[in-house]
Homo-oligomer: A and B are copies of this chain.
Amino acid sequence: MHPARIIARKRDGHELACGEIDDFLHGFAQGSIPDYQMAALAMAIFLRGMTTEETAALTDAMLTSGVRMEWPDDGRPVVDKHSSGGIGDKTSLILAPLLAACGMRVPMISGRGLGPTGGTLDKLESIPGFRTDLSLGEIHETVGRVGCVITGASAEIAPADRKLYALRDVTATVPSIPLITASIMSKKLAESLDALVLDVKFGSGAFMKHIDVARKLARSLVATGQRMGVRTTALLTDMNQPLGRMAGNLVEVHESLACLRGEGPADLWECTRALAAELLIGTRGSGLGDREGEAPAEPEKLLDDAISSGRALAKFAEMVAAQGGDLDRLSPMPAGTDVIADRSGFVSAIDAEALGHAIIELGGGRKVMTDRIDHAVGLEMLIRLGDEVRAGQPLVRLFGSPDQVAHLPPHLAATISLADEPPSLLPLIAERIE
């Protein structure tokens, strides 16, 4: 292998061979390719792009830099969901036990808060004792016994991705569709999945502000997953306002519990159920709900049953206990301070990213990786897009000490635009990509 020649070929817009990508990435993971050559290649990939074939090879190289999970060949499907992240996005907390309650294995590897969006692991750590650092052995054992787990990536999973991500962060090569695709998919495919669904969010509270970019990423993720033999679909979902009412850590756990009891906000359940249904459809024929000779059950019905029967909630409690958490010691919902509308009108736009930054300011997220999180802070949306409000009506409830709230930037109300006319509303689930 001649690394500079491989870099030059990508620089000049050529398609790299799978073997070239594999050699380069393994060399990088093992240290024989230095950071500066990987940085030059990453920038060339950023500016020249990659075909699906190349992206799949990159994903595979990162995946095979580490270990893959192994599951018994017992027909029980292994599934997972990945979200591109958004304010108030707590679907993972509901979806993993929900699908486990439907008989699936859900070995969910999650992440921490990134920029203004919260992280599933941070949210779960609001539960006293909850461990997010399970070993590979513990993941296998817990998924086998409980059906699901939500934990951080162990060091054995796609180490090349970890190394490359750290490098991309300091070389301005993060927002590249093939590099994002390989980073997401290498970790997810290390779970040895039968089906994967991607929740690709767009709007004011998502990394991608416009649906076009979200669609591009979704297509790349789906094509790469399919190319690698995993049934993969994606939903493009609207993130122009927080998902559900709660945003923060502890308050999102409370809202997830409400949703698992069948008492959550409609949008949160709609989104979670649609994502879960993709995985039921994706693994149809695996014997779940559709017995030989019977017509397959409607996936939505299976999911509604898992909630109404209390099985999904019980599964969540089981998972929490298996990961060392103690739900009995969960702090109650904190008291809040309301932000008041200074005029009347229809809610026409919500700057969800600014709300995410407000949570960080309160102490609920990190400005630098070493910051400690105050899990109790957060906010509750008291209105939704399209609502008619009157001057003096509360818009947002802030959770935090008076001192924390006093330190927020003024004019938080300005993150919610009020107009004389009602806005046209978008559907929550904008598109499905398969």
Given A36-B170, A40-B173, A44-B47, 19 more A-B residue pairs with CB atoms under 8 Å apart are A4-B170, A4-B172, A5-B172, A7-B43, A11-B43, A11-B46, A34-B36, A35-B35, A36-B36, A36-B39, A37-B39, A37-B170, A37-B171, A39-B39, A39-B43, A39-B171, A43-B43, A43-B44, A43-B47
B48 in contact with A11 (CB, 8 Å) = no
What is the CB-to-nearest-CB distance from A2 to chain B, in angstroms, rounded to a whole number? 10
One digit per residue, 1 when the CB lies within 8 angstroms of any chain B CB and 0 when it does not, for chain A 225-263 equals: 000000000000000000000000000000000000000
Please pick, from B3, B47, B171, the residue contacting A170 in the complex, using a CB distance under 8 A: B3
Number of copies: 2
One digit per residue, 1 when the CB lies within 8 angstroms of any chain B CB and 0 when it does not, for chain A 27-44 equals: 000000011111110111
B4 in contact with A167 (CB, 8 Å) = no
Residue of B nearest to A170 (CB): B4
One digit per residue, 1 when the CB lies within 8 angstroms of any chain B CB and 0 when it does not, for chain A 68-84 equals: 00000000000000000
CA of A35 to CA of B37 in the docked complex: distance in angstroms? 9
Q: Residues on A close to B: CB < 8 A? A: 3-5, 7-8, 11, 34-40, 42-44, 46-48, 167, 169-173
CA of A161 to CA of B377 in the docked complex: distance in angstroms? 51
What is the CB-to-nearest-CB distance from A16 to chain B, in angstroms, rounded to a whole number? 13
Q: Chain B residues near A11 (CB, 8 Å)?
A: 43, 46-47, 172-173
Q: Chain B residues near A42 (CB, 8 Å)?
A: 40
Find the residue from A3, A5, A11, A34 having the highest chain B CB count within 10 A: A11
CA of A8 to CA of B40 in the docked complex: distance in angstroms? 13
Q: Chain B residues near A5 (CB, 8 Å)?
A: 172
A171 in contact with B48 (CB, 8 Å) = no
What is the CB-to-nearest-CB distance from A177 to chain B, in angstroms, rounded to a whole number? 14
What is the CB-to-nearest-CB distance from A114 to chain B, in angstroms, rounded to a whole number? 15
Q: Chain B residues near A38 (CB, 8 Å)?
A: 36
Provide 22 A-B residue pairs closer than 8 Å at the C-beta atoms, listed in order of the A residue. Answer: A4-B169, A4-B170, A4-B171, A4-B172, A7-B171, A7-B172, A8-B172, A11-B43, A11-B172, A11-B173, A34-B35, A35-B36, A36-B36, A36-B170, A36-B171, A37-B171, A40-B40, A40-B43, A40-B171, A40-B172, A40-B173, A43-B47
Q: Chain B residues near A7 (CB, 8 Å)?
A: 43, 171-172
A167 in contact with B43 (CB, 8 Å) = no
Q: Chain B residues near A8 (CB, 8 Å)?
A: 172
Q: Chain B residues near A36 (CB, 8 Å)?
A: 34-36, 38-39, 167, 170-171
What is the CB-to-nearest-CB distance from A204 to chain B, in angstroms, rounded to a whole number? 22
CA of A46 to CA of B171 in the docked complex: distance in angstroms? 15
Q: Chain B residues near A43 (CB, 8 Å)?
A: 7, 11, 39-40, 43-44, 47
Q: Chain B residues near A171 (CB, 8 Å)?
A: 4, 7, 36-37, 39-40
A40 in contact with B37 (CB, 8 Å) = no
Q: Chain B residues near A34 (CB, 8 Å)?
A: 35-36
Residue of B nearest to A4 (CB): B172
Residue of B nearest to A45 (CB): B43
Residue of B nearest to A5 (CB): B172
What is the CB-to-nearest-CB distance from A153 to chain B, in angstroms, rounded to a whole number? 23
CA of A167 to CA of B34 in the docked complex: distance in angstroms? 11
CA of A47 to CA of B7 in the docked complex: distance in angstroms? 12
